[in-house]
Structure formats: structure tokens, C-alpha cells
Amino acid sequence: MLQVKEIHTYYGLSHILFGVSLEVGKGEIVCLLGRNGAGKSTTMRSIMGLTPPRSGYIKYKGVTCTGQKPYLLARQGMGYVPDNRRVFADLTVGENLEISKGKPKDGKGWDKDRVYDFFPDLKKIDSRKAGFLSGGEQQMLTIARALMTNPDLLLLDEPTEGLAPLIIKMLEEQIARLKESGLTVLLAEQNLSVALRLSDRAYVIDNGSIRYHGTSKELQENDEVRQKYLCV
């Protein structure tokens, strides 16, 4: 589904990613773990075409897409949930969803009803202005909005950041159900336990380089890597 090969990404003169490579297979949840400033969001932005890499390449569904515009990638089924949870504050929850509606899909695509079946808590606040939502509700809404575009691959940037443990648990269950629905997910996280429970495989990034990759079970058992790069 996704292949990132040896990418180098910069913000202006700052060299941030140093030859990052990773792969996500169809139907997998793969997590990208790393401390603050390790390069997780920059990797997501590179994939989504927001901060294209200066060298290396990215293939999506087998086709090179390096440097393609984000809206074109979105049209091809790449969904992106950035780390800032930005919603349209003056629009209601329902309106936020409606304006994100993508092309209908053959078979079982996402529409507002299906999104509300999936997130019943959002249905209850359908007519509330998004500016008044709690952090957890906003996070649900940003994920729900990405689903409305009918993605095949979802890039989720630190969905649990700053949320209360109970909310994190609920989100975790919902992300697990997304996988069951056939979605492929690349999940950037600092929350090791959530990421390892959800994902099949894990990559650890530090200072803009991938330092480790393996199955989530292997990482769970590798105290040395966890302590060295994740401080846990």
C-alpha cells in the first residue's frame, strides 16, 4: 500500500529526516514511535505531500507519488489526520462531516450515517458547534472527517496526545475497529502501550532516522531499544 524509501526532508535549511524508509502493507496497522521532535509528524507530512522530501521516493499503491499535491493524494484515497485537531469551529459537527464528503465508493463507503454508527458519541452532538467540543470529541471528529473522504490508507498523527486515559481507551477501541473494517493505518504515537496494542509492526524514529523496526511483539520484548529511544 505504502512504501517510503530513503527520504530526506528539510524545513528550509534544517535537515530533519535522514533516509527514512518504511512500508505499510494492505490491511496493516503500522506504528511510528518516537519522542518529541523525533520526526514523526515530518514523516507524515512528507508522505501526504505537505513537506515533500528532497530526495528518496514514496510509492502509494505501487505508483511513485513523491511530491504530489496533497489534494491529489487525498483523491486517490490517502486520508490524513494531522496532530492539531483543527475543526471548523463555527460549523456544527454534522456540517464538518458534510463538507468533507468525498467521492462515493462502490460498495461499502463512508457517509454520515455510517460515521455516526461508528462514533455514536458524535451523533449525539450532531448540531453542536465544533468550537465547543472537548479534546476527545474533536479528535473523534477529525478522524470521522477523514473517513468521510473514503480513505484506503489513513495517516493518523498522535491521536491520543493530551487526552484523558478513558478517552484514549475508547479511541483505541475505535481505531482497532477501523482496522477490522479493512482500513490500512500508519499511526504516529508517543504512547507506546496504545501503539503496540493496536499495531502489527512498529518503526522507531529518533533524530530523523529509523533506529529500529520489527513486529510490535518484538519491540515489546526489546527493553534496550525501548529505553534508548523511547525512555520507557
For Mg ion, the binding residues (CB under 5 A) are: 40-41, 83
Q: Examine residue 41 and tell whether it contacts ligand ATP (CB under 6 A).
A: yes
- Which range binds ligand ATP by CB under 6 A, 23-31, 37-45, 125-133, 210-218? 37-45
Q: In the beta sheet, which residues pair with residue 9?
A: 17
**Residue 40 near residue 191, CB atoms below 8 Å:** no
Residue 40 lies near ligand ATP (rule: CB under 6 A): yes
Q: Which of residues 53-92 bind ligand ATP (CB under 6 A)?
A: 83
- The item of ligand ATP, Mg ion, none sharing an interface with residue 11, based on CB under 5 to 8 Å by kind, is ligand ATP
Q: How many other β-carbons are positioned within 10 Å of the β-carbon of residue 32?
A: 29
Q: Does 37 bind ligand ATP (CB under 6 A)?
A: yes
Strands 63-64 and 209-215, bridge-based pairing: unpaired
52 lines the binding site for ligand ATP (CB under 6 A): no
Residue 167 per-residue DSSP state = H
Give, in degrees to the nearest 5, the angle at Cα 68 between 83 and 80: 25
One residue of 16, 87, 186, 192 binding ligand ATP per CB under 6 A: 16
The dihedrals phi and psi of 18, each to the nearest 5 degrees, come to -120, 85
Query: Which residues are at the interface with ligand ATP (CB under 6 A)?
Result: 11, 14, 16, 34, 36-42, 83, 158, 190
